[in-house]
Amino acid sequence: MIRLETGQMARSEPTTLEQVAARAGVSPGTASRVLNGKNKENRPAIAKRSDRIRRIALQLGYRPNAAARSISRGRFRAVAFVTCGDLGNDWYPISELNGIHAALDKLEWRLLFNELPASKINDSKLIPQLFRESAVDALIVNLLPSFTENTVEYFEAQPLPCVWLNLKRDLRSVYPDDLSGATMAVRWLAKRGHERIGYFSRLFSGSTHYSATDRFNGFSRTMKADGLSPHRHLELITNNLSIMPPVLERAELFLKTFPDTQAVLCYEFEEAICMAFAAQHAGRRVPEDLEIVGFNEREIRSSSGLKIPTVVVPFQEVGRRAVEMVEKIIDTGRLDVESISVPYKSILI
């Protein structure tokens, strides 16, 4: 009889492979081969014995030790997603995570999620512990540009390969091709009869994400290439932190500065919504008087109810391609894998 202390539940020890083998009257090696699907069952007697071993394992509730099998193979068939969990630094696209999970599921690999506080991203004790105890084969890392290049170097100095998301680097990174996304958006607006097209973004300070400059550069280059004026935009980057106006105020300034604008390409969801409100305050109808298009990972219309077409950032494909890159690195043992820029494919109307 088992006596229980208050608040405890009775627990039975897990069934071992040796117990299954003993009950079946075979060696542990034979039981292991049968339960792992590696036993040759080319004769009726062997097939009958294998069925009996499997029935006994089921009756006893035997479960293989996945960790031990992983260690013996030298692989865990698992990847850790690493990001920052602090408010303000905790951005990562859910669709990107969905793409990672779906791709890993096809490989029958597992995904571990790790949120690190910003204060410990470079911690000399925390990160090595993460690498030792996570039991994974690689890391997929998504961090904002506020974390310096030193952070990248620090992670890559660890013993596991890292694939970086939304970071524009030469090696081991997967990111949206924002130059092509802006080109697609400008030409879509031009086909709708717009010539006086503007670009609107919040004001960035100092070191910023590559998308801030690539989306603008894609807009500017495409407008010039197609014989259109690219001058309808406000200052993009400043080092003066004392002049960082709210996005709505900046949108109102944009419309006052460029009143003849027929259409505007907006950096993100927030800019698109603020531009729509600024247009309403100025007595301009959207989209009749001003057509607004914005970059976002999800349809802006479904989130806001406003008629704002969305340049869909291909984050789900970024996640899928990141898993492909991890698989390639693990299979080849090579770290000199070139980065991938994922092209844009659609504008949701």
pLDDT one-digit tens code per residue, 297-342: 988 877 677 889 999 999 999 999 999 999 999 888 888 999 999 9
Classified by CATH at the fold level, domain 75-176+317-344 comes out as: Rossmann fold (3.40.50)
Equal CATH topology for 17-64 and 75-176+317-344: no
pLDDT at position 144, please? 77
Mean pLDDT of 65-84: 67
- Give 275-305 pLDDT, tens digit per residue: 999 999 999 999 999 999 999 998 887 767 7
Higher local confidence (pLDDT), 329 or 36: 329
Q: Are 167 and 173 in contact, with CB atoms under 8 Å apart? A: yes
pLDDT of 1 strictly over 70: no
pLDDT at position 340, please? 97
pLDDT of 4 strictly over 50: no
- In the chain, what are the domain boundaries? 17-64, 75-176+317-344, 178-312
Output the pTM of the full model: 0.76
Cα separation, 255 vs 261, whole angstroms: 8
- Give 101-143 pLDDT, tens digit per residue: 999 999 989 998 888 887 777 665 666 566 655 678 889 999 8
Q: How many CB atoms lie within 10 A of CB 64?
A: 12
Classified by CATH at the fold level, domain 178-312 comes out as: Rossmann fold (3.40.50)
Give residue 276's region: left, alpha or beta (phi > 0; psi -120 to 50).
Answer: alpha
Mean pLDDT of 339-346: 95
pLDDT of 71 strictly over 80: no
Q: Are 103 and 318 in contact, with CB atoms under 8 Å apart? A: no
Tell me how far the alpha carbon of residue 313 is from its chain's centroid: 11
Q: Are 347 and 312 in contact, with CB atoms under 8 Å apart? A: yes
Distance (Å) of CA 76 to CA 110, 278, 334: 9, 53, 18
pLDDT of 34 strictly over 50: yes
How would residue 70 be classed by pLDDT, with cut points 50, 70 and 90? very low
Least confident of 67-81, 166-180, 193-207, 328-342: 67-81
Mean pLDDT of the chain: 85
Q: Are 78 and 137 in contact, with CB atoms under 8 Å apart? A: yes
pLDDT of 28 strictly over 50: yes
Classified by CATH at the fold level, domain 17-64 comes out as: 434 Repressor (Amino-terminal Domain) (1.10.260)
Higher local confidence (pLDDT), 195 or 112: 195
Cα separation, 258 vs 120, whole angstroms: 45
